[in-house]
Amino acid sequence: MNYTHRKKESQPEISHAIFHCSVIIYVVLMKTLWNSLRRLYFNYVHYNDRRAIWNAIRKSLRLEASQAPLLSFAPGETSKAKPRREKEGFFAKYCQGQGLDIGYGGDLLSSNCQGWDYADGNAQYLKGVPDSSFDFVYASHILEHVRNPTVAIKNWWRVLKTNGYLIVAIPERNLYEKRTRLPSHRNNDHKHFFLLENDEAPDTIGLCPFIKRTLPQHQIVYARVCGSNDEYAIEAVVKKIK
């Protein structure tokens, strides 16, 4: 009788223990969620950039680069340009074979691209990527973020095969920034401004002169400002020749 009585008395204690464990688990989960939301908010407020938000999600969820298309949730700069590029025959002309999309942020240029983003390493160096390994290399709205654009574009050129195409898209200063000096009021992570033709020290790089003085054995297929469909960008296609 005493044993039965003690057993009955222990049941409320077990219920209380389960309740306390549930509360602890709930608090831990809410704290994790709160920290993830704070990280997203920080990136949105301070960078106002889809790529930064995407990378925060990837880091929070510990996603591999290959899983990025699963959570592509909003149209980025690449998606904005897609209808225009399709009309121009862009993909048939410049995106044949195997490509590398640098800084894709879940918005991959095409299905025959390998993505390279925040979790894969520094976009300036592409460490571990062999020389002459891609038929085309695409970098959309990346060059303005890197500390050393010369080092970056030389490494992008390094991994490109001969007769392949380097495709660069960057914000056009007068359309996007609407100012001549850093810091950017649109994105605090911008380290450089760009114009199509003119260098304007200390903060603005002319893309065409930059390509001409930096890349060996190249042909600029085209370089132009794309200001329609909310693109506000300079787009350049450069062929690697012998």
Assess contact for 105 and 78: CB atoms under 8 A: no
Residues constituting the chain: 242
Helix, strand or coil, per DSSP, at residue 88: helix
Measured CA to CA, the distance from residue 11 to residue 21 in angstroms comes to 16
Write out the DSSP string of 209-224.
HHHHHH-SSEEEEEEE
| Judgement on whether residues 158 and 109 belong to the same structural domain of the protein | yes
Per-residue pLDDT in tens (0 to 9) along the chain, 242 residues: 444 444 444 566 666 677 777 778 887 777 777 666 655 544 444 334 555 555 555 554 444 443 444 333 345 899 999 999 999 999 999 999 999 999 988 899 999 999 999 889 999 999 999 999 999 999 999 999 999 999 999 999 999 999 999 999 999 999 999 999 999 999 999 999 999 999 999 999 999 999 999 999 999 999 999 988 789 999 999 999 98
Q: What is the pLDDT of residue 11?
A: 60
Residue 54 placed within a domain: no
Measured CA to CA, the distance from residue 50 to residue 35 in angstroms comes to 19
Range of 34's domain? Answer: 2-47
Write out the DSSP string of 102-165.
ET-TT--S-TTEEEE-GGG--TTT-TTPPTT-EEEEEEES-TTTSS-HHHHHHHHHHTEEEEEE
Residue 53 placed within a domain: no
Residue 57 placed within a domain: no
Q: What are phi and psi of 225, to 5 degrees?
A: -90, 130
Residue 56 placed within a domain: no
Q: What is the pLDDT of residue 29?
A: 78
Assess contact for 53 and 37: CB atoms under 8 A: no
Residue 233 placed within a domain: yes
Residue 62 placed within a domain: no
| Judgement on whether residues 109 and 24 belong to the same structural domain of the protein | no
* CATH assignment at residue 144: 3.40.50.150
Q: What is the pLDDT of residue 13?
A: 66
| Judgement on whether residues 123 and 165 belong to the same structural domain of the protein | yes
Q: What is the pLDDT of residue 236?
A: 98
